[in-house]
Amino acid sequence: MSSMIISGGRRLSGSVCVHGAKNAVLPILAATLLTKNISVIKNCPNLSDVRHTIEILEFLGAKVSRKGDTLTIDTQNADGTHIPDSLMLKMRSSVIFMGAILARNGCAKISAPGGCELGPRPIDLHIKALKELGASIKEKHGYIMCSAKKLTGNTIYLKFPSVGATENVMLAASLASGETIISNAAKEPEICDLAEFLNAMGANVSGAGSSEIRIIGKNELSGSTHSVLPDRIVAATYLCCAASTGSEILVNGIIPEQISSAVSILRDMGCDIKAEKNSVYISAPKVLIAPEEIKTMPYPGFPTDVQSQFLSVLAKAKGTSIITENIFESRFRHTEELNKMGANITLAGRSAIVKGVPALWGAKVSAHDLRGAASLIIAALSAEGETEIKNIDYLDRGYEDFMENLNNLGACIKRIY
């Protein structure tokens, strides 16, 4: 694991362009298994989670080549049905392959997924939904064995609008016989991007972005070309970098309405923010006003994936804020690291109480997960003095060229491998 050394207290300026969305690319890559033709995925970021997903596709028999930000995937011989532990445990989203492998081959064997330390990462909703589509599923010795001669459409009610479970059902149902209705479906923009790719492959998916998605199964799908939507979480993270350092920056290549909940809070905190068609300009004051309360919610509510980053912004705001994490059980592991930098954060159940302090101080801290790593960078940018962040490799799961882009904006960051 490598480290980052950040000299804080510098203002940022300039513009940054945001890469394709990690959380859209991963299910779209799984969707390429639903055809034996060639698919082309553009605006595909070069992230460790994407590289791990490509490893899984290749292990299953696919041929994948990359030219810049474009991937070409040939799944003609991708008839593998088993994903080994070594690949499954590298990231949570590997579970998304279950539906696609099952739909293509009639059977799938995977181990319980790995992922960030965000608390228990159950997949009960995935399993229940696939069973309702006719799969028989056995779990033993840490493996999940699924089989189904032919999946059959059904009405699937998700007791929680799980992003991954919604995606798994969309993938499996696309080759099932008959119609599937997903009720209480996740509404994240990444779901819409997956639906767009599936329909371009010849699937029949409607209602993506609403809480009811209908899929009429097809016998086969063809390859297609798709350009991945921009990463709204990365966009919001750059805005947090500006907010925490009293900076003015332009964030390009994004869809502003997809981060409206985060933008609205930053405006309430005193930032001047102008949204254009594909960009957001932010000018932050030296001292921010603490919002009383922030609660993470499923889309279009405040995204859990920017909760960690906002904690670092709140740490120096004037006043006290309560931020409540309603999506994951434990997504506050980095608060103890922020407190080492002088923050005043106390945890109470699913909430963190942040009493703003006049300054943060550089310290030696450690990252524990992807967004926690980004959060520590944001705190280090605004801190007095030098911060060393250990285990920064987590950042590579979801941010491409983050250090280079921040240095181009005026930051002073070094990476020690």
Which stretches does DSSP call E strand in 179-230?
Answer: 179-183, 204-206, 212-216, 225-227
Of 14, 84, 122, 301, the residue at the interface with ligand EPZ (CB under 6 A) is 122
116 is catalytic: yes
Show contacts with ligand EPZ in window 279-338 (CB under 6 A).
304-305, 327-328
CB of 301 to ligand EPZ, least distance (A): 10
Under rule CB under 6 A, residue 126 binds ligand EPZ: yes
Q: Which of the stretches 123-131, 141-149, 283-291, 345-353 binds ligand EPZ when contact is defined by CB under 6 A?
A: 123-131
Asked whether position 92 contacts ligand EPZ by CB under 6 A, the answer is: yes
CA–CA dist 89, 80 (Å, integer): 18
CA-CA distances (angstroms) from residue 224 to 32, 60, 101, 371? 9, 20, 18, 32
Question: Of residues 17, 44, 107, 116, which has the active-site annotation?
Answer: 116
Give the rounded distance of the alpha carbon of 204 from its chain centre. 25
Write b or e for each residue in 174-208: b if 16 or more Cβ atoms lie within 10 A of its Cβ, otherwise e: bbbeeebbbebbbbbbbbbbbbbbbbebbbebebb
Q: Exactly one of 19, 187, 214, 371 binds ligand EPZ (CB under 6 A); which one?
A: 371
User: Contact, 187 vs 299, CB < 8 A?
Assistant: yes
Using rule CB under 6 A, residue 195 touches ligand EPZ: no
β partners of residue 79: none
For 241-287, list the strands marked E by DSSP: 248-252, 272-275, 279-283
Binding to ligand EPZ (CB under 6 A) within 137-176 occurs at 160, 162-165
> Which of helix, strand or coil describes residue 197?
helix
Binding to ligand EPZ in span 221-280, by CB under 6 A: none
187 contributes a contact to ligand EPZ by CB under 6 A: no
Residues binding ligand EPZ: number (CB under 6 A): 24
Task: Give the residue with the Cβ less far from ligand EPZ, 169 or 389.
Answer: 169
Binding stretches for ligand EPZ (CB under 6 A): 22-23, 26, 92-93, 116, 121-126, 160, 162-165, 304-305, 327-328, 370-371, 398
Residues labelled as active-site residues: 116
